[in-house]
Amino acid sequence: MDALELLTQRTSTPALRAPAPSAEQVQVMLDAACRAPDHGLLRPYRFLVIEGEGLLKLGELFLAAGLKKDPDLDETAQKKLRNMPLRAPMIIVAIAVKQEHPKVPEVEQVITAGCAAHAIVQSAFAQNLGAMWRTGAMTHNPDVREGLNIAENEEIVGFVYLGQSLKVRAAPEFDASTLTQSWR
């Protein structure tokens, strides 16, 4: 795929089907993630690859976390939480690992982790896979953090849902010049 076509035409895919990306495809995505721009070359990120039984376990973790927050959750809400991770055959959790640094503030490190997550999304598209970056209430939930072993100095920047996209959406038309001024 032409690089500029990727950069200008990529779209997300909410409906993702099996099979999960292959080991080779995952490696390409992680290699791309590790090429994110990175002030000080701190590599302020790490990733969890979740598929199969792991997705079921993540659903149970979401449900337990949701019930702890609101024990009165009705059946529909409980089912929604449990099934959330089953919307794709694979999830890569992108995690920012913030480090004390004299020149690189935490915000820049989180941006780098975000760029890494976007590189996963883009390299999925470039491999004819579908991807959707999701966050939501579970992202910063303390029980979810504990269940995923997220350390104090870490933040989940996204759950990148991955799989086969049956239909690729066209990118919406947008004129970037409407958001751009010349400053002199």
Q: Catalog residues that contact ligand FMN under the rule CB under 6 A.
A: 11-12, 132-136, 158
State in angstroms the smallest separation of the CB of 72 from ligand FMN.
24
Nearer to ligand FMN among residue 71 and residue 106 (C-beta): 106
State in angstroms the smallest separation of the CB of 25 from ligand FMN.
19
State in angstroms the smallest separation of the CB of 135 from ligand FMN.
4
Nearer to ligand FMN among residue 158 and residue 163 (C-beta): 158
Nearer to ligand FMN among residue 11 and residue 25 (C-beta): 11
State in angstroms the smallest separation of the CB of 65 from ligand FMN.
16
Nearer to ligand FMN among residue 69 and residue 169 (C-beta): 169
Nearer to ligand FMN among residue 44 and residue 158 (C-beta): 158
CA atoms within 13 A on the CB side of 11: 14
State in angstroms the smallest separation of the CB of 132 from ligand FMN.
5
Tokens, residue 111: 């941006």
What's the CA gap between 99 and 32, in Å, rounded?
A: 22
State in angstroms the smallest separation of the CB of 157 from ligand FMN.
7
3-state secondary structure labels for all residues of the chain: CCHHHHHHHCCCCCCEECCCCCHHHHHHHHHHHCCCCCHHHCCCEEEEEEECHHHHHHHHHHHHHHHHHCCCCCHHHHHHHHHHHHHCCEEEEEEEECCCCCCCCHHHHHHHHHHHHHHHHHHHHHCCCEEEEECCHHHHCHHHHHHCCCCCCEEEEEEEEEEEECCCCCCCCCCHHHHCCCCC
Nearer to ligand FMN among residue 46 and residue 87 (C-beta): 87
Residue in the block written with tokens 């010349």: 182
